[in-house]
Amino acid sequence: MTTGSTVFVFNGPNLNLLGTRKPEVYGRTTLADVEARCREAAAGHGLELDFRQTNQEGTLVDWIQEAGAAVTRGEALGAVLNAAAYTHTSVALHDAIEGAELPVIEVHVSNVHAREPFRHHSYVSPVAAGIVVGFGVDGYVLAIDGLVRKVRPLRSV
């Protein structure tokens, strides 16, 4: 495996329902469609994609630590994280990202700042390398591009 050859994309709770849950907010694109777009975006940068979804907070913490270790070993570039509702509630995700020293781009399909007030606060943002909000599922591709530019600025796009 070449140095930094993988990008992780981690998805939190209810994103398995993408395309059917609140399509007026999140659109009709499914998570499988998002994965295909991410795979294409990663390949465009010469990267492999490791794409995952869970409804469990502890599983996300484990994955973040795993990805941080992969970055330390030179096997991965970093991660795109749509923590979904855990964004607004999880100190554990904040601490995991910080502790793993994982380069993370936080992504949200909707503009969380134009929604309910409880969605305006993120525990992920203070430890994220960047944030992509409100571009629909295109935000995932923007986040992959942004991660590459942040981590490999001299070799990016």
113 is catalytic: no
82 is in an annotated binding site: yes
146 and 7 Cβ atoms separated by less than 8 Å: no
**Distance between CA 16 and CA 19 in Å, rounded?**
9
Residue for token digits 């465009």? 44
Kindly give the pairing relationship between strand 6-11 and strand 130-133: unpaired
Check whether 16 is labelled as a binding-site residue. Answer: no
- The annotation status of 119 as a binding-site residue, yes or no, is yes
Look at residues 51, 50, 13 and name the one whose alpha carbon lies nearest to residue 32: 51
The catalytic position among 45, 94, 108, 140 is 108
User: Considering 26, 86, 123, 140, which one is annotated as catalytic?
Assistant: 26
* Pick from 64, 26, 59: nearest CA to 140: 26
Q: For residue 26, indicate whether it is catalytic.
A: yes
On whether 5 is known to bind a ligand per the annotation, the reply is no
In degrees and rounded to multiples of 5, residue 122 shows phi and psi of -125, 130
145 marked among binding-site residues? no
Q: Is 90 annotated as a binding residue?
A: no
8 forms beta bridges with 50, 79
Task: Give the position of tokens 């993370």.
Answer: 104
* Residues belonging to the active site: 26, 108
Please state the residue numbers annotated as binding site for substrate.
82, 88, 95, 109-110, 119
